[in-house]
Structure 1
Amino acid sequence: MAEQHAAGAEGIHPTNDPGTPGGSVDPQSGADSAAPTRRARRGGSRKSQKATGGWGAVREIAIVVVLALLIAFVAKTFLIRGYYIPSGSMEQTLELDDRIFVNVLGARTGHIDRGDIVVFDDTQGWLPEAPAARTNPVRQGLEFVGLLPDSSQQALVKRVIGVGGDHVTCCDASGKVSVNGKALDEPYLYPGAAPSDFPFDVTVPEGKFFVLGDHRNASADSRYHIETGTQFVSEQDVVGTAFVTAWPLDRFRFLHNPEDVFADVPAPARP
C-alpha cells in the first residue's frame, strides 16, 4: 500500500521496463514489483464485491418483507379479511371452524343487500366479554397489518334480513318471516329449524340492519336484543360480506346471495 500512496502523492515515475508503467523492476529478480499491488487491488475488489453483495441481499429481503406487510395492510383495510366460525349459529351455510373470507370493499361502498352474510363488530355487547388476550409487540404488529385477527375486537356473522326502512315481522299464518308484507321462503335455514320460535315486529331505521342466523334456534341474533334496544346493526359496524368458505378444503365454495328469496319484497313504505 506504500507504493500506492507514493504513486498517488508524487505522480507516476518512469521504470526500467517500459511495459510496466507506474511500477519498477527488481534489479535482482527482474520481477515486476507492481504485480503484488495489482493482486492486492484485485483481492480488495473481490472482498468489496462480497461485502456489497451481502448487504444487497439483506436489503432486498428487507424490501420484500416491507412490501409484503404493506400489501397485507392494504388488503386487510380495503379488500379482504379472513375469519373462522366459532359457533353453529349459521349452520348449515357456515359450520363450526369454517374459515371464510370477507369482502371489505363492498361494505365500505355501501353495497349491502338483504340476503348478504355480513361480519360485524360487536359494539353493542351481544357477546359476553372475552377474557383479556395475551399480547406483545410482534402480535400487535401482525394484527395491525391483518396477518392475525384483532384480539381486542369481537365480531359476529349473520344474514341480513331487513335494511333501512324495512318492516320485518314474524310470524305469518304459515310461520314465516315477512319483510314489508312479503313472506319469505328461506332455503338456507337449518333443516327442521323454524323461521323463529317467537314473534317479533320491528321497523329498521335508516343506516341499520336487522340480522338473523340461518340456524334460528341456535342464534342469539337481532330478535334476542329487541327488549334492550340493541337489535339493529349499524352500517359503520359492518366489516364486510362473506363471499367464500376457504377451509376446510372439502367445504371450499363461494357464498352467493339468494336474491330470489327477496326478489318480490316490495320497497319499504316511506313516511
Structure 2
Amino acid sequence: MAVGARSGHDDPEERPGRSPEQPSDAGGTAPAGGGDDDAPEGSGTGQKKQRSFWKELPLLIGIALLLALLIKTFLVQAFSIPSDSMMNTLQRGDRVLVDKLTPWFGSEPERGEVVVFHDPGGWLEGEPTPEPNILQEFLSFIGLMPSAEEKDLIKRTIAVAGDTVECKKGGPVKVNGKALEEDYLYPGSSACDDQPFGPFKVPEDRIWVMGDNRQNSQDSRYHMEDVNRGFVPVDEVVGRAVVVAWPVNRWSTLPVPATYDQPGLNAAAAAAIAPPALGLAAAVPLVLWRRRRLSV
C-alpha cells in the first residue's frame, strides 16, 4: 500500500494509535506508537506552514522604525557638526551621539558638558541650511538624526544657574571667582579677547554656553541683547553630547574637563545652602533646651 495522505473516509480501525481492543491508559498517557508524531513525512499532520519571509518583512520594518523612534525620542540621537565653532574638540562633519535619557529624569546640564540645544531665539537667523548627504538623509528618515530643517546648536556649558561668570580682555573665564584652565580651547584662541563680558549671575533655569573655538563662535557672548540675554533656557537643551561616533578615526568620548572639578567652584551653591543649614543647627539646641526646661 502506498504511503501518502489519507482520505477523510478511512476506516477508524486502520488509523495509527490505540486499537479498539486496547484499553486507554489510566493516567491519560498516549500508548507507544500512537499519535500524530508517527505520521509519515509529507502527510501534513501536526505541521504548521511557515509564514513567507516577504509577508513578515513589513512587520519587521514596522518594528524597526518604532524602535528607532523610541530610541531617538527617549535615549540617544546622532547630530552632525556643521561648523568650526567647537574645534578642536569637534570638527566639521563629526557625528556625535547625544544622551537624551537623563533629562527625562530631571537631570540638568552641568559645567563643562558639551550640550546640544534648540535655537533659543534667533541665534541661527540668516544662517544657510546645510545640505544633508545620503547617510544623514537616511538617518533622518528613520529618526536617528534630526532633519536638516531643525535649528540646533552645540556648545560647552560654562556656567549654570546661580553662578557668577565673567571674562576680561587678556584674562581667563572666571566662574564664582575661580579661573578656568581651558586646555580644550582651539590652539591660538584667547578666552574672550574678541568679546569680553560680565560679571553677571546666571538666572534660574538658564545656562551660559561658549564654543571651544572662541574667535569663531557666535555663543552666549554675542546674544546678550536678545530676549534671553545670551542665556540658554534649560528646557531648550536636547541633551549632552557623550561620544564622537563618526568618522571612525575620530572616535572619542567627551568627558567634563578637570578644571570644572576644582575646589571652590561651587561656592555659590554652598553659600545658598549655608544659611538654612546654620539656622537648622542653631534651632536644634534651642528646641532641646526648651523641652528640657518644660519637663523640669
Same fold (TM over 0.5): yes
User: Any stretches of 5+ residues in structure 1 without a counterpart?
Assistant: 1-6, 20-42
Change (3 A) 1:169 1:262: farther
Out of 87, 90, 101, the residue aligned to residue 97 of structure 2 is 101
TM-superposed CA distance for 1:162, in Å, is 0.6
Please tell me the residue identity of whatever aligns with 2:152.
A
Q: How does 1:34-183 map to 2 (within 5 A)?
A: 53=50, 56-109=52-105, 110-129=107-126, 143=140, 145-171=142-168, 175-183=171-179
Q: Residues 148-207 of structure 1: CA distance to partner in whole angstroms, max 9, x if unpaired?
A: 4234421000000010111110127x6011111111111111111010023211311111
Change (3 A) 1:180 1:131: closer
SS in 2 for 1:243: strand
User: Any stretches of 5+ residues in structure 2 without a counterpart?
Assistant: 1-6, 15-41, 276-296
CA distance in 2, matches of 1:13, 1:250: 72
CA distance in 2, matches of 1:130, 1:144: 23
CA contact (8 A) 2:207 2:232 kept: yes
* Matched residues, number: 229
Change (3 A) 1:246 1:205: same
SS in 1 for 2:73: helix
CA contact (8 A) 1:106 1:112 kept: no
SS in 2 for 1:169: strand
TM-superposed CA distance for 1:266, in Å, is 2.9
Tell me which residue corresponds to 2:254.
Answer: 255
TM-score of the superposed pair, with normalisation by structure 2:
0.67
TM-superposed CA distance for 1:262, in Å, is 4.1
CA contact (8 A) 2:111 2:260 kept: no
Change (3 A) 1:196 1:239: same
TM-score of the superposed pair, with normalisation by structure 1:
0.73
TM-superposed CA distance for 1:56, in Å, is 3.6
Please tell me the residue identity of whatever aligns with 2:231.
F
Matched, 1:192 2:188: yes
TM-superposed CA distance for 1:144, in Å, is 7.3
Please tell me the residue identity of whatever aligns with 1:60.
E
Please tell me the residue identity of whatever aligns with 1:246.
A
CA contact (8 A) 2:115 2:240 kept: yes
CA distance in 1, matches of 2:88, 2:137: 34
Of the structure 1 ranges 218-227 and 144-153, higher mean CA displacement relative to structure 2 is found in 144-153
Please tell me the residue identity of whatever aligns with 1:267.
A
CA contact (8 A) 2:77 2:144 kept: no
Of the structure 1 ranges 226-235 and 247-256, higher mean CA displacement relative to structure 2 is found in 226-235
Matched, 1:266 2:263: no
TM-superposed CA distance for 1:129, in Å, is 4.6
Tell me which residue corresponds to 1:24.
Answer: none
CA contact (8 A) 1:161 1:212 kept: yes
CA contact (8 A) 1:84 1:99 kept: yes
Change (3 A) 1:246 1:181: same
CA distance in 2, matches of 1:132, 1:266: 39
CA distance in 1, matches of 2:72, 2:173: 35
